[in-house]
Structure 1
Amino acid sequence: MAHRYWCDECGHRTPRLDPADAERRHLEHYAAHHPGTAPAGHVETGRRTGGCACLGLTVLLLLLPLLAAACHR
């Protein structure tokens, strides 16, 4: 699962990386750009992709036989 850290001070964000690398990059950002400030912000975890497409296809496949049956009568 990918993680992305957001900086609370300036809005910088890390790329989507594995959790350890994303945290390391977040800490490096704070050390370089906000020395003396405790790292803060929030973390995003992996994105859901393709969920709507699968849902639409499932609905279509379920409704197609009903539509065919209604037209056949």
Structure 2
Amino acid sequence: MAHRYRCGECRFATRWTTESEVGDLAAAHYAETHPGLALGGVVEINQKNPNSLGCLPILGIALLLLVIVAACQR
């Protein structure tokens, strides 16, 4: 999973990265841009699997079954 921080005071957002790095980047942003304010904003979590093939395996299985059915009808 990847995490991204969005500032609560401005439009700043970090890149998608690890959870611990997001915390460090958020703290650095607030210290530099919003000194004296309490850390705010939201952390977004990207739960999509970047290595996923989507529905490609299901389509491949369906095509294979169609070929088998067509071959058995001869």
Distance 1:23 1:38 in 2: 13
Check 1:19–1:55 CA distance in 2 against 1; reply closer, same or farther (3 A cut): closer
Q: Greater share of helix residues, 1 or 2?
A: 1
- Residue 38 of structure 2 is matched in structure 1 by 38
Identity of counterpart residues, as a percentage? 34
- Structure 2 regions of 5+ residues with no counterpart? none
State the Cα distance separating 1:42 from its structure 2 match.
Answer: 0.9
Supply the RMSD in Å over aligned alpha carbons: 2.1
Tell me the TM-score normalised to structure 2 length.
0.70
| Structure 1, unaligned runs of 5 or more | none
Correspondences of 1:3-42 after superposition (within 5 Å): 3-42=3-42
Post-superposition, which runs of at least 4 consecutive aligned residues in structure 1 deviate over 3 A?
Answer: 69-72
TM-score, normalization by structure 1: 0.71
Equivalent pairs counted in the alignment come to 71
